[in-house]
Copies of this chain bind each other. A is one copy, B any other.
């Protein structure tokens, strides 16, 4: 790899520029002629695909079924729930022509699918026997934001799941929340090596049309928060707008209770930001499309011998996603740099020394630690190291997250935290939107959520000094 192909900026010095460079130079994504729409190249799509397979399997275990609803939504349907419509219409992309014809009615490209799903739910649900109905979709949605786009973090098209459940009682609907957030948190931990802070959104920040919203909040290296997966308790709002009723066991016609939940490709931005370093991407081993790269150190006089040994090592490692980089015309150093930039978790080097001594040399991407092991132990050692990398990435990310939650009692401390240390200020709040608004106005920070895991409640609201009701996390947020 030549020097201009590598990163020209350090992560700690200019995170934003580093982020853009690492995404493109590592081949993780690319841009297109449509602003705010990106290409997920194989290494990023593999992360998403692996994550979705894992989450989908967990969904199925608890009885959630997958479906597919149309991309296009008639305008009149979108208008049915007014709060929802007002929330989304500023960023809807409209289809108005097809072939050479003008359409009679504009069709929205789904920004989310509540309305088209619920129009059908109303037809399908008749009695308590049809409930619960727990349907999910894995699809693409479009939200035409006019702010400056940032790959994964703010893109006009993204991939996600959208779960839309219907229950016969409020109690059952409420019970779904911990199940779903638990699945997301576990998948984030087990696959992406990412921790998050689950909690409830404020009224001001909740989803358009929901009764209560919940989120898992993450933290980027620049100290800005980023909302990950979310869960919305819709109460009977949509049921009333879409006439989703059922006959209960007593024969009464009742409105149903609904929830929605989602995880999106946004999380890919977080793994890039959190795990990456000045050499490039660092991919969590479970989701890396190449987990191990074998680089043979070839010299003219020994290349046949070294390549033959490298192929045997590859055979040993066939239980992993492994690539042998036998490209001609590139030096080992060039290849080392390139695979580091791409974030491959383990590099196995094979040179004459390894062949003659019956060993292999393995280097970890996360720490740069290098070790030698016996040929016969290669697979076991690789497995141990991949697990160790995953554990280390998670531990580092968790330490960073926890180290950036500062418990504050006074407005001075809150402002100080947001200005200097960044991250989350965990502060007492009276629950009043006027305090929330003022804090946002004066500091730029919003309430990311009110964490389920609460610090000890400080008595007085950080802003107005009246009695506080809850500890809320304030942060500048993407």
Q: Residue A189 at the B interface, CB < 8 A?
A: no
Instruction: Say whether, besides A89-B99, A100-B90, A40 and B65 are in contact (CB < 8 Å).
Output: no
Interface of A is mostly: mixed
Do A67 and B39 touch across chains, with their CB atoms under 8 A apart?
yes
Do B66 and A129 touch across chains, with their CB atoms under 8 A apart?
no
Chain A window 20-57, contacts with chain B (Cβ cutoff 8 Å), 1 for yes, 0 for no: 00000000001011100111111001101100010000
Chain A window 68-102, contacts with chain B (Cβ cutoff 8 Å), 1 for yes, 0 for no: 11111110010000000000011111111111100
Q: Residue A144 at the B interface, CB < 8 A?
A: yes
Do B144 and A70 touch across chains, with their CB atoms under 8 A apart?
no
Do A157 and B70 touch across chains, with their CB atoms under 8 A apart?
yes
Specify which of B46, B67, B72, B99 is in contact with A157 (CB 8 Å cutoff): B72
| Minimal beta-carbon separation of A140 from chain B (angstroms) | 6
Tell me, in angstroms, the Cα distance from A116 to B45 when the chains sit together.
Answer: 17
Do A32 and B70 touch across chains, with their CB atoms under 8 A apart?
yes
Do A71 and B33 touch across chains, with their CB atoms under 8 A apart?
no
Specify which of B33, B66, B77, B129 is in contact with A33 (CB 8 Å cutoff): B77
Q: Residue A385 at the B interface, CB < 8 A?
A: no
- Please, which residues of chain B bring their CB within 8 A of the CB of A65? 42, 45-46, 289
Instruction: Say whether, besides A92-B98, A140-B71, A119 and B42 are in contact (CB < 8 Å).
Output: no
Tell me, in angstroms, the Cα distance from A305 to B119 when the chains sit together.
Answer: 41
| Minimal beta-carbon separation of A38 from chain B (angstroms) | 7
Q: Residue A109 at the B interface, CB < 8 A?
A: yes
Do B99 and A69 touch across chains, with their CB atoms under 8 A apart?
no
| Minimal beta-carbon separation of A341 from chain B (angstroms) | 15
Q: Which residue of B lies closest to A46 (CB)?
A: B66
A residues contacting the other copy or chain, number (CB 8 A): 59
- Please, which residues of chain B bring their CB within 8 A of the CB of A69? 32, 39-40
Tell me, in angstroms, the Cα distance from A97 to B97 when the chains sit together.
Answer: 10
- Please, which residues of chain B bring their CB within 8 A of the CB of A73? 34
Specify which of B48, B70, B109 is in contact with A37 (CB 8 Å cutoff): B70
Do B146 and A99 touch across chains, with their CB atoms under 8 A apart?
yes
- Please, which residues of chain B bring their CB within 8 A of the CB of A39? 67-70, 120
Q: Residue A240 at the B interface, CB < 8 A?
A: no
- Please, which residues of chain B bring their CB within 8 A of the CB of A74? 33-34
Do B157 and A71 touch across chains, with their CB atoms under 8 A apart?
yes
Q: Residue A337 at the B interface, CB < 8 A?
A: no
- Please, which residues of chain B bring their CB within 8 A of the CB of A97? 93-94, 96, 106
Do A37 and B140 touch across chains, with their CB atoms under 8 A apart?
no
Specify which of B77, B109, B119, B123 is in contact with A109 (CB 8 Å cutoff): B109
Q: Which positions 176-233 of chain A face chain B at CB distance < 8 Å?
A: none
Do A327 and B129 touch across chains, with their CB atoms under 8 A apart?
yes
Q: Residue A329 at the B interface, CB < 8 A?
A: yes
Chain A window 125-150, contacts with chain B (Cβ cutoff 8 Å), 1 for yes, 0 for no: 00001000001000110101010000
Tell me, in angstroms, the Cα distance from A124 to B99 when the chains sit together.
Answer: 32
- Please, which residues of chain B bring their CB within 8 A of the CB of A77? 33
Q: Residue A107 at the B interface, CB < 8 A?
A: yes
Tell me, in angstroms, the Cα distance from A124 to B89 when the chains sit together.
Answer: 37
Instruction: Say whether, besides A30-B123, A74-B34, A67 and B41 are in contact (CB < 8 Å).
Output: yes
> Can you give 9 A-B contacts (C-beta < 8 A)?
A34-B70, A39-B120, A42-B65, A45-B65, A94-B97, A95-B95, A95-B96, A98-B144, A129-B327
Given contacts A38-B70, A94-B97, A98-B144, 12 further A-B contacts (CB under 8 A): A53-B53, A65-B289, A71-B109, A90-B100, A91-B99, A92-B98, A93-B107, A94-B95, A94-B96, A95-B95, A95-B96, A129-B327
Q: Which residues of A line the B interface, CB within 8 A?
A: 30, 32-34, 37-42, 45-46, 48-49, 53, 65-74, 77, 89-100, 106-107, 109, 116, 119-120, 123-124, 129, 135, 139-140, 142, 144, 146, 157, 159, 289, 327-329
